[in-house]
Amino acid sequence: MRYGYTIVYVADVAATLNFYERAFGLSRRFLHESGQYGELDTGATTLAFSRHDLAGSLFPGGYTPIQAGSSPPGIELGLVTEDVAGAYERAVAAGATPLKEPAQKPWGQTVGYVRDLNGVLVELCSPMG
């Protein structure tokens, strides 16, 4: 078994892809013509987004969407970069909500936190080791 992808359910897939391109410099792999699903090129693991209505059709009992105005969700997307401070500034300039400015952790890694336009928690961090 291997980890293949993450799908985040959002209201507007195209707007989310545009945001991640501007805020984090990621490249779009594709956006389905329906606008319901899209992916970013992030290396070995795919980061994908799917519209709430498509997600709702998968789960007849419903699901709990992430709310931009609520407390950060209990899950985060981790993006690794050599320049955490620069990435943090770029993300905030593109509209990310700043949560915690980059700081060095006791184990040596630099970490900062923002939220995307959907309220998704994004960790910006330096490589380990």
pLDDT tens string 88-115: 999 999 999 999 999 999 999 999 999 9
C-alpha closest to that of 55 among 11, 115, 5, 14: 11
Confidence bin at 3 (pLDDT 50/70/90): confident
51 in Cβ contact with 15 (< 8 Å): no
- Tokens matching residue 81: 């970069």
pLDDT tens string 113-122: 999 999 999 9
> Residues with Cβ < 8 Å from 76, sequence gap 6 or more?
113, 120, 121, 122, 123
pLDDT tens string 24-69: 999 999 999 999 999 999 988 899 999 999 888 888 888 889 988 8
The pLDDT assigned to 99 comes to 97
Q: How far apart are the first and last CA of the chain?
A: 25
> Residues with Cβ < 8 Å from 72, sequence gap 6 or more?
99, 113, 115, 119, 121
74 in Cβ contact with 33 (< 8 Å): no
Threshold 0.75, pTM exceeds = yes
Domains of the chain: 5-125 (3.10.180.10)
Alpha-carbon distances of 112 from 37, 103, 105, 119, rounded to whole Å: 28, 6, 10, 15
Q: What is the DSSP string of 22-54?
A: HHH-PEEEEE-TTSSEEEEE-SSSEEEEEEHHH
